[in-house]
Copies of this chain bind each other. A is one copy, B any other.
Amino acid sequence: MVARSYGQYCGVTTAVELIGERWALLIVRDLLVGPRRYTDLKQGLPKIPTNILSTRLKELQEGGVVRRVPLLNCGLVYELTPYGRRLEPIVLALGRWGFAQMGDPGPDDVITADSLTMALRTAFRPDAAADLPPADYEMHVGDVVLRVQVSDELAVTQLAPPAPPVGGRLPSEQPDVVFAAGPGIRLLISGDVTPADAIDREIVAVVSGDGMLLERFAATFHIDPAGAAVLPA
């Protein structure tokens, strides 16, 4: 199972032979969030054929990008090797680059927990976060619920969508604000709409907590699409 060669002796070519096959970089994207089981990956990439996932994981292992780690009595997970983890800045930069060209979602497009987590990492501005007080958000997008905790660092945790634990949460565990968003949240990230506008236009809806914190959110997570090519009609 040798990768089809491009016939060139070059670092870029080598890289593309390692992670350039269809679906490979999206597998890497999800593994950058954390180790994942086969089934998790399949769920996070709903349209990937199972045989392709299987093949890619083998190729990525051969390439030294991914490692297969058995768990005690608990199945196994795939995780990035240190070499694979060095792709993080590249994947984030690609996410930033692609963001500028994102239009509206297609009718069948989904937003997954891992892709949204990486999108937040893509948009995170540590310098802005350092100048602002810490904040603790709970973000709902489609079926995905993320707890986004910002201090100097960014910590994103995936929460189970269903009912909160009976008895409610302790105050110290409560996020400062809970909000729900649609795909239009892209416009908040790009700065095309202000948080106030976003609420007016129902791009985001504050479920509970202090809605003013959306200002802080927009300052902390931002991608400037400047320089994006306008597609010819």
**A 114-126 binary contact with B (CB < 8 Å = 1; else 0):** 0110110010000
Which one, A13-21, A35-43, A157-165, A199-207, is touching chain B?
A13-21
> Interface residues of A, CB < 8 Å — how many?
66
Distance A109 CA – B9 CA, assembled complex (angstroms): 6
Distance A29 CA – B10 CA, assembled complex (angstroms): 11
A23 to chain B, nearest CB (A): 8
Distance A18 CA – B97 CA, assembled complex (angstroms): 10
A47 pairs with B106, CB closer than 8 A: no
A12 pairs with B105, CB closer than 8 A: no
Distance A182 CA – B177 CA, assembled complex (angstroms): 60
Not counting A7-B109, A9-B105, a sample of 20 additional A-B residue pairs whose C-beta atoms are within 8 angstroms of each other reads A5-B106, A6-B47, A7-B110, A9-B183, A10-B119, A12-B26, A12-B122, A16-B94, A17-B98, A20-B25, A64-B228, A65-B229, A83-B229, A84-B229, A89-B228, A89-B230, A90-B94, A90-B97, A90-B231, A93-B231
